[in-house]
Amino acid sequence: MDTMKHHFLTLLVLLTLFFAACEPTKPVLTAGAGGMDMFSPVKMRLHPLSRVVTGDKAGGGAGGCTPTTVEARLEFTDQFGDVTKSPGTVYFEVFRYENFTPTHHGDRIDLHTFQLSSPEANKEHWDPITRTYLFHLPLPADSLKKSDTRLILSVTLNPDAGDATRLQDDRTLFIKQSLPPSPPHSP
C-alpha cells in the first residue's frame, strides 16, 4: 500500500510538471540590438476621440464645399501598458455600417495608407496633447447616404520590424448630420 501511494504521488508530481511546462508563456520583450524592442507596441486601438466631421456646402474646399472627413486617432501601448510610438505602414478602411452582418462591415467606402517610417512622418501625425497619432481621412464626395448614421473604421499596422506582430482594430463611428442653417434672427 505504501508503494502504491509513493507511485501515485510520483505520477502526480510528474503530471503537474508536465502540464506546467506546456503552459504557454507571454513573451517578454527585452532590449535587443536596437535597445528599444521592449518598448515596441503590443496593442493598438482606435481612440474614442476618433470621429466623423461632416462637410458643409459653404466651406472653402474644392468646389466651394468642405468634404466629410474621418478624424482617426490611433494609440499604441507597449508591454508595460504605456503609450508609445511605432514605425510602420498604417492602413485605414472606412466601411458603411451594416446592421445585419456579424461584424457590421458593409461596403467599403474608402481606403487610406500612411507611412510612419520616418521621424518627419511620425512628427507630422503625432499629437502630444492626446498622445495619439491624428489622421485626417477625407471621404469621397457623395460617398455617404442620408440614411447612414454610422461608419466602421478599421485600421491595420504593418510594423517595419520583420518579426513584429501586425496589429488591427475596428471602431464604430457615429455620423452627426449637420443641421440646416437657422433663419436670420430679427431684433
Do the Cβ atoms of 92 and 137 come closer than 8 Å? yes
Cα–Cα–Cα angle for 85, 90, 94, rounded to 5 degrees: 130
Length of the chain: 187
- The 10 Å CB-count burial string (b at 16+, else e) for 65-86 is ebbbbbebbbbbebbeeeebbb
Q: Is the pLDDT of residue 165 over 80?
A: yes
In angstroms, rounded to a whole number, what is the distance separating the alpha carbons of residues 82 and 60?
40
pTM: 0.72
CATH number of this structure's domain 42-174, picked from the four choices 3.90.1690, 2.60.40, 3.40.1000, 3.30.1490? 2.60.40
In angstroms, rounded to a whole number, what is the distance separating the alpha carbons of residues 165 and 160?
10
> Model confidence over 85-136: pLDDT tens digits?
999 999 999 999 999 989 999 999 999 999 999 999 999 999 999 999 999 9
In angstroms, rounded to a whole number, what is the distance separating the alpha carbons of residues 160 and 88?
5
pLDDT at site 170: 97
> Model confidence over 41-76: pLDDT tens digits?
999 999 999 999 987 654 445 555 788 999 999 999
SS3 22: helix
Q: Quick one: CA torsion of 15, 18, 24, 25, rounded to 10 degrees? A: 110
> Model confidence over 9-53: pLDDT tens digits?
777 666 666 666 655 555 544 444 455 578 889 999 999 999 999
Domain residue spans in the chain?
A: 42-174
